[in-house]
Amino acid sequence: MIDILYFARVREQLGRSEEQLELPPGVGRVADLLTLLRDRGEPWATALSADTVLLMAVNQAIARLDTPLKDGDEIAIFPPVTGG
């Protein structure tokens, strides 16, 4: 089981701030997880579109698309933050 946390615009578009998901076979990297979530259809496909700039963190460390995932991980998905 993994915990997925959604922040800011992503949370608003999906209408949820978190979920738990059994890590299916074949989903071993961040890129695989994004594909799985997008394949749910709308609003996932739009909120997590490959054309949308998103940051990901695995266990509170910034992750890349090739970052491996394992049972028990916490994955955060959020848009880039700018300050002023």
- Assess if residue 61 is contained within a domain: yes
Q: Which domain holds residue 65?
A: 2-78
Query: Please, what's the b/e burial string for 3-41 (b: 16 or more CB within 10 A of its CB; e: otherwise)?
Result: ebbbbeebbebbeeeeeeeebeeebebbbbbbebbbeee
Q: What pTM was estimated for this model as a whole?
A: 0.91
Domain assignment present for residue 9? The answer is yes
Tell me whether residue 83 is in a domain: no
At 11-55, the pLDDT tens digits run: 999 999 999 999 999 999 999 999 999 999 999 999 999 888 899
Say if 51 falls within a structural domain: yes
User: For the chain, how many structural domains are there in total?
Assistant: 1
